[in-house]
Amino acid sequence: MTSAPAVEVSALRKAYGEKQAVDGLDLVVARGEIVAVLGPNGAGKTTTVEILEGFRERDGGDVRVLGEDPARAGRAWRSRLGVVLQSTDDLAEATVGELVRHFARFYPQARDADEVIDAVGLREKVRTRARQLSGGQRRRLDVALGIVGRPELVFLDEPTTGFDPQARRDFWDLVAGLREDGTTILLTTHYLEEAEHLADRVVVVNAGRVVAQGAPADLGGRTARQALVRWTTPDGPREERTDTPTALVRDLAGRYGEVPGLQVLRPTLEDVYLSLIGDAPATTPAAPVEPVEVAR
């Protein structure tokens, strides 16, 4: 039973009036995998995730989440899921400790509340009311409530929106801890860095369907991944696109000795992503690309 995928979606469709929000989307998430769903606003990410969570009815297609149809699944199924919604302002008057303990009671095999509080780093806030938490601490509380039931599959919807860089790093460590427990995670995010850091696989959704997927380092295929070598000649700057930058640099070094202005550039995940959703010219890393290797 554990070998079946955690999530299986095929030809999923959902329309709101005239607008086809999800238009034949296919998605498989294996057990233990961390998958990041990327896409512009309105691409159908949230609609898809909410169908998987059982919040919305679909118009068509097959959906299996932990082996069941979310539209018909009951409490036992819910107790195997963890859902962390986009940030909310509820739960104001209860303390962290009370909330985690209270939510633990909903589940048949909950984690120990204190362990969960430690895991999300809220030990010092255990007696603090939710309304007094900072944005990052609040999000950690959301995660604590999402995982206290020992879920097999966790949905994280834009978990770090509005975080400062340190809070984001801490949050990633928290998710990494979940991965070690074998928890399957489906994550939506706007931060490519986050997807790159956390996900085994990135799924890019645009206009209601999957336009690309793969490991963060492979996304977009080889062409999108070609390195760009730049150097300066007496006639001005030159650049060449190549699959074998090392060979090219060796060749250049043979010609010039120390190559003036040498840069080897690789497209970032962001470049690849933008080209996939059509906001940038395909396969051309734009000028301000992050240098990955720089000659000495």
Partner 1 sequence: MSTTHAGSTPRTRAAVPGTLALGLARTGYELRSFFRERDAVIFIFAYPVIMLAIFATVFGQDDASIELPSGQVPFAQYFLPGMVATGVMLTSFQNLAISIAVERDEGGLKRLRATPLPATAYFLGKIGQVLVNCTLQIAVLLAVAAVVFDVPMPQDAAHWATFVWVLLLGTASGAICGVAFSSLPRSGRSASAVVTPVVLVLQFISGVFFQFDQLPSWMQQVASVFPLKWMAQGMRSVFLPDEAAQLEVSGSWQHGAIAAVLLAWLVVGLVVGVRTFRWRRRDDG
Binding site for partner 1 (CB under 8 A): 2-3, 6, 16, 30-33, 50, 53, 55-56, 75-76, 78-81, 83, 85, 88-94, 98, 102-103, 105-109, 129, 145, 149-150, 152, 179, 181-184, 200-201, 215
Cα(55)–Cα(177) distance, integer angstroms: 27
Give me the residues paired with residue 185 across strands: 34, 154
Nearest approach in angstroms of CB 158 to partner 1 is 13
Nearer to partner 1, 145 or 252 (CB): 145
Q: With respect to partner 1, which residue has the nearer C-beta, 82 or 245?
A: 82
Work out how close the CB of 201 gets to partner 1 at its nearest, in angstroms, rounded to a whole number. 7
> What string of DSSP letters covers 1-45?
-TTS-SEEEEEEEEEETTEEEEEEEEEEE-TT-EEEEE--TTSSH
- In whole angstroms, give the CA distance from residue 29 to residue 242: 33
- CB-nearer residue toward partner 1: 36 or 265: 36
**Sheet holding 263-265: strands in order across?**
236-242, 227-233, 263-265, 291-294
Name the minimum Å distance from CB 193 to partner 1. Answer: 19
Smallest distance from the beta carbon of 78 to partner 1, in angstroms? 4
Which residues are paired to 35 by β-bridges? 186, 201
Closer CB to partner 1, 5 or 121, in the complex: 5
What is the smallest separation between the CB atom of 215 and partner 1, expressed in angstroms? Answer: 7
For 178, the enclosing helix (H) or strand (E) is helix 165-180
Query: Given the complex with partner 1, which of 51 and 252 has the nearer CB atom?
Result: 51
Unique residue bearing structure tokens 């930058």 = 245
